[in-house]
Chain A
Amino acid sequence: MARAVTTRRKAVVTACAWAIGLTIFFPILWTVLTSFKTEAQAIADPPTLLFFQWTTENYSEVLERSNYFRHFANSVIISVGSTILGLIIAIPAAWSMAFVPAKRTKDVLMWMLSTKMLPPVGVLIPIYLIFRDTGLLDSRIGLVVVMTLINLPIIVWMLFTYFKEIPGEILEAARMDGATLWSEILYVLTPMAVPGIASTMLLNIILAWNEAFWTLNLTTTNAAPLTAFIASYSSPEGLFYAKLSAASAMAIAPILIMGWFSQKQLVRGLTFGAVK
């Protein structure tokens, strides 16, 4: 039974919501607009919102002058690599906790979660020194490993909450029919688990892409992902608004698009299943 809503009320709500939504979104919009201006227009007084000479020269200049593609590739390698590695480790763990729960399963899950709450500065120095001594500083492999470990608890948890929803009877039926453990996983569980795995993957790529504590502290140039590359614009000589905007727009665009697709999963993943 839908409740009747007056059109006027709906119009007022719509106007308020759009005004607030646009205000919150404005910094991103402004960044994108500025990225299409010339440097002079970017700091023009008064600022222009739409009526300026649109140009894409900032984009080509950023692409030309900085090693943008290298940093972009680093971001992709680190976020996707760590997510895949994390999934390889987490899928068996989450599977067994969801379908063969032991007495201590809950404790193990809670403990895994607690590792996520360890503040990074608590382990910054040892990791930095270990990396320095093993030559992992400023290396993609090193960052993939750190990012995998950081996000592993979230991956296990998200997969666990998804696997929990798969009816266990199906597995037992398969077992009765003589399916082995591995064929059970391959033919019965996998097809049902793919959506959950995909969501987990998406959220973790987003988290790893935007991670800015370890990436800033453990990289300099070679393995620096986009987070560190953008941070290099904070030096005084880098104050070119239009180019900064172009670089920023390119750094956030892929994840913004992925993020919009994964709103629901985000809630589930970031609240560890506490809010669905």
Chain B
Amino acid sequence: MATAHSRTAARLMISPAVLLLLAWMIVPLSMTIYFSFLSYNLLSPGTEEFIGLLNYEYFLTDPAFFAALGNTLLLVGGVLVITTVGGVLLALLLDQPMWGQGIVRILVIAPFFVMPTVSALVWKNMFMNPVSGLFAYGASAIGIEPFDFLAHAPLFSIIVIVAWQWLPFATLILLTALQSLDSEQLEAAEMDGASKISRFFYMVVPHLSRAVTVVILIQTIFLLSVFAEILVTTNGGPGTASTNITFLVYAQSLLQFDVGGGSAGGIVAVILANIVAIFLLRMIGKNLEA
């Protein structure tokens, strides 16, 4: 068993990681909280003053906030629906015997490794551009008017781009989960006369549901912070049509230099993410005990 000596050593070995993360969490976060109570604009330094909850009041009653909140929910929800439904179907397909499975897997997983700025630019210019994009050629080839995706359906376009990036992630995780299903158990059930359908619903679905939950929770964490795709394609526009909370906070603080308001927005974003995080942590914690 561990001796007192090795326990001290163990504590020493953990401490750098813990202290660094503690500092990374506490220092900037408490600064954000502090700023959120100030009237603080980078353009007029030295005029900071305490204004209580006024920043929150402004931020939370700003029409842009409601637009951004709605957009965030649509973006996260839309991408989640596409990637989990698509991911389950694709994982079930890829789990079947076929020729060239390894190569198909590689093709499907590839978009996940493309950096967000590249995928956003490629989709924006080479596919969604109303003049020279591939979709425009396709439209004119079949005789319909090309559609300016990013101008007329900016949020939808961004959902498509982000879903393309995350579908591989969902597929890969669900496929891994599917392949870890004990095939002997499945065969035993088959021998016992369980039909294909009941095998699917009583064995595969329960096994997959855990992985689906993990996919949903992890993606939500990342999707709440989608930023580069919006910056590169629409810059949040037109108006606030494709602004999410992350982009709104960025715009308020680094484009309008309103540190106070931006900080209040940042704290709102932290609270929203925490709601998701609590569920995710509980789930992973349970797994740690198992």
The residue from A124, A181, A263 contacting B250, defined by CB atoms under 8 A apart: A124
A263 in contact with B107 (CB, 8 Å): no
A158 interfacial contact with B, CB 8 Å: no
B134 — which chain A residues lie within 8 A by C-beta?
30, 47
A213 interfacial contact with B, CB 8 Å: yes
From A53-61, A101-109, A189-197, give the one contacting chain B: A101-109
B288 interfacial contact with A, CB 8 Å: yes
Using an 8 Å CB-CB cutoff, how does the interface string of B39-51 with A read, 1 for contact, 0 for none? 0000000000000
B172 in contact with A46 (CB, 8 Å): no
> How far, in angstroms, from A65 to B125 measured CA to CA in the complex?
21
B214 in contact with A123 (CB, 8 Å): no
> Which of A1-17 touch B at CB < 8 Å?
1, 3, 5, 10, 13-14, 16-17
The residue from A22, A93, A102, A116 contacting B7, defined by CB atoms under 8 A apart: A102
Who on chain A is nearest to B225 by CB? A119
B112 in contact with A27 (CB, 8 Å): no
Who on chain B is nearest to A112 by CB? B21
A21 in contact with B104 (CB, 8 Å): yes
Who on chain A is nearest to B213 by CB? A274
The residue from A3, A46, A122, A129 contacting B270, defined by CB atoms under 8 A apart: A122
Contact of A28 with B110 at beta-carbon distance under 8 Å, contacts A213-B227, A227-B117, A241-B132 already known: yes
A108 to chain B, nearest CB (A): 7
A146 to chain B, nearest CB (A): 9
A119 in contact with B270 (CB, 8 Å): yes
Who on chain A is nearest to B267 by CB? A122
Interface range, A side: 35 or more
> How far, in angstroms, from A270 to B222 measured CA to CA in the complex?
11
Who on chain A is nearest to B272 by CB? A119
> Which secondary structure dominates chain A's binding surface?
helix
A167 interfacial contact with B, CB 8 Å: no
B115 in contact with A251 (CB, 8 Å): yes
Binding site for A on B (CB under 8 A): 2, 6-7, 9-11, 13-14, 16-18, 20-21, 24-25, 27-29, 31-32, 35, 90, 93-94, 96-101, 103-127, 132, 134, 137, 141, 164, 167-169, 172-173, 176-177, 180, 187, 210-211, 214, 218, 221, 224-225, 227-228, 231-233, 245-246, 249-250, 253-254, 259, 262-263, 265-267, 269-270, 272-274, 276-277, 280-281, 283-285, 287-289
Binding site for B on A (CB under 8 A): 1, 3, 5, 10, 13-14, 16-18, 20-22, 24-25, 27-28, 30-31, 34, 43, 45-47, 89-90, 92-93, 95-97, 99-100, 102, 106, 108-110, 112-130, 149, 152-153, 156, 181, 206, 209-210, 212-213, 216-217, 226-228, 230-231, 233-234, 239, 241, 244-245, 248, 251-252, 255-256, 258-260, 263-264, 266-267, 270-276
